[in-house]
Structure 1
């Protein structure tokens, strides 16, 4: 005769991980490594160094003047050059160091992981931009105190808005390229070629030699597309009547360098075998 006993029911379900917790985890992971911490420290030091050198130049030469707008531009240079590497590493390092095995085990929904990384990168971008602008304001105050010139506050809301937007777009481009390539050296190389080398060394030469380059470049480069929206002038100092075409150009550059590689990268992450 067998005896039936009531076995306890084991609930194998678990509540979903809150998205805010995933964002905090992805943000912390950017600074957990020695490389991430030192990259952030170096970026901060470069921002302070840029402000110090600017103040030194204007203090030693009375003929050199600078305004709040100039300080803002100087402070955002280190941010736009170095901090986008965080956007790259937060994606590509998962695959190069094979930590994605743990990440996708704890959170099988890869779309939520990508979304959490994107939000954490955006928050970091906004935070560093705010820090750079704040230090620029401090530098402008110090400039008025140590020189015979008055501090000039000429940063308009429009200019500040487009500065933030342009910086965010570069962060998002770095993130999108990282999802597409899933390789740190390759992504960094492509990002700096597209964001720095081509606009500084190649596009100006093409625009001065070929007439068609002046019409084409605003459709393929963020800086050329955003310049009329920020200052009302093109990259050559010529006045531009800003209309729908200028906004469409800027939107198309975002589509070309953020949306297209981002969507393709998302699909690749969803389909790539975890091994």
Structure 2
């Protein structure tokens, strides 16, 4: 008696997953949880609250005025405080909840997964900036209606460009920290210490007391490095002749807090065992 064995074949002709679909999946995953959805809702509420409080102060104090540039600066504050958490969670939550087992099974190419997450974070940052711009423009119009002051649309292209650059830098910094640490509490704490607590609490005191701090700190903080590029003066209000040094400072801070941890985080994700 003879036995005939029929071999089976594996169809390898299935097309690869489109990168745009991976980006859409990563965007949807940001809002699939109640935590992510409520974080976005709270941020929108803070934008409305910031606009309302600003208008209230202006209505009660006739001597205080504001322009479109001022509204733009106020509207970016809630974005800088809360929304970078999205950039952290999109990476770190995969490892803390072990969903990376599924993610890297469906897409074994980890570089594409990281790229899709990075693109999703960038799109979220740009989208929220558009939302903040809408609220800022609305606030400026209401300011003209509620007060006797003229509406001033003085937001220059240079200010707008640097506002976008700084917001993207903070989002990318949060993403880089999450990639490097792969732990949500550690990434959130590290980001807020470097991006918020030190620049607001510690750095101003050091700059007021020590001359060396005025030279050193612009090499360590985005906002301190970018202020001369935006306003033509340093954080102490002293005029600055913007040159190659000022651009070098910003590039150095960007490499220090975005490029370096981002590259190390990319290498860590590529080599870390999925278990």
Shorter-normalised TM range:
over 0.9
1:174 aligns with 2:183: no
Q: TM-score, normalised by structure 2?
A: 0.97
User: Equivalent residue for 1:248?
Assistant: 248
Pairwise CA distance, 1:20: 0.4
Question: How is 1:222-241 mapped onto 2 (pairs within 5 angstroms)?
Answer: 222-241=222-241
Segments of 5+ residues of structure 1 without an aligned counterpart are none
Partners in 2 of 1:9 and 1:26 — Cα distance? 33
Pairwise CA distance, 1:4: 5.2
Segments of 5+ residues of structure 2 without an aligned counterpart are none
Partners in 2 of 1:268 and 1:13 — Cα distance? 31
Question: How is 1:1-275 mapped onto 2 (pairs within 5 angstroms)?
Answer: 2=2, 9-275=9-275
Partners in 2 of 1:10 and 1:171 — Cα distance? 42
**1:182-212 Cα distance to aligned partner (Å, 9 max, x none):** 1111111110100011001111111122211
**1:133-186 Cα distance to aligned partner (Å, 9 max, x none):** 121011101110111111111110000100110111000000000000011111
Partners in 2 of 1:161 and 1:130 — Cα distance? 13
- State the Cα RMSD in Å: 1.3
Partners in 1 of 2:48 and 2:169 — Cα distance? 24
| Residues 143 and 12 of structure 1, relative CA distance in 2, 3 Å threshold | same
Q: TM-score, normalised by structure 1?
A: 0.97
**1:43-101 Cα distance to aligned partner (Å, 9 max, x none):** 00100111111111111221221111111111110001100000000000001111001
Pairwise CA distance, 1:14: 2.7
Partners in 2 of 1:47 and 1:269 — Cα distance? 35
